[in-house]
Structure formats: C-alpha cells, structure tokens
Amino acid sequence: QVQLVESGGGLVQAGGSLRLSCVVSGRSFGDYTMGWFRQAPGEERDFVAGITWSGASTGYTDSVMGRFTVSRDNAKNTVILQMNSLKPEDTAVYYCAAQRSSRREYVPESVVEYDYWGQGTQVTVSS
C-alpha cells in the first residue's frame, strides 16, 4: 500500500519561507508523477505545483510562479516544495499527491488525475 506523509508546515510571517517534504512509501516512487495541492477553509482543493516521474518537467499555478520550487529525490522517495516570499493568501492545508506510472512528461492539475494522497500539513502565513 502506498502512503504519503507530508511535513514541514507551520506558522510564518509574510515574506518568509517554508520547505514542505513528502515521503512516499513503496518501491515505485520513481514512476510516480507528484503533485502539491492546497485547500483553504471553504475552498476547493487547488493545484499548486507538480513534477513528472522523470523530474524533467515541472508545473506551477500562476500565483506561485517564481516563488515556489518543486523538486524530487528518488533515492529518498521524497518530493520537496520550497516556498519563498510567502503571502497570507498562501495559507492553507497543503497536500502531496502521486499519480501512478504514466511515463508522460505532463503534470496533471486536476485532483481526479492523482491516485494517492497524503493527510496534509497546515501552512499559515501571518500578515
């Protein structure tokens, strides 16, 4: 069974940085395309960033472009979301997600295209 465990969330002032990690159990991590989503209270779960199985392609939602960076370390079964220049509107629960092997250089942005999800980690940015 595949399990995803996020860590690194917390409270930070506007302009600060956080580094989220997601560790994935199992032996197929190198085949998964990975995504980060976030959900604020009363809102839908929205795509933030993602990286393909090969690491060759990444994708970001417009509001985080230039501030967030997604990366992966296949040796550690880990995907990282480095978040800089944080804003109060970045406040949300952040979720890590994995899409089973597709071997496509394409980062899905819809929740329905991901097969496995973590429990989420809270990020709060104060003004």
Rounded to an integer, the average pLDDT of 22-33 is: 91
- 33-39/116-117 β-pairing: unpaired
Rounded to an integer, the average pLDDT of 13-35 is: 94
Rounded to an integer, the average pLDDT of 34-48 is: 97
- pLDDT tens digits for range 46-87: 999 999 999 999 999 999 999 999 999 999 999 999 999 999
| Predicted pLDDT at 28 | 87
Q: Which DSSP letter does residue 31 get?
A: G
Residues 5, 118: contact at Cβ < 8 Å? yes
Place of tokens 């985080």: 64
| Predicted pLDDT at 32 | 93
| Predicted pLDDT at 125 | 98
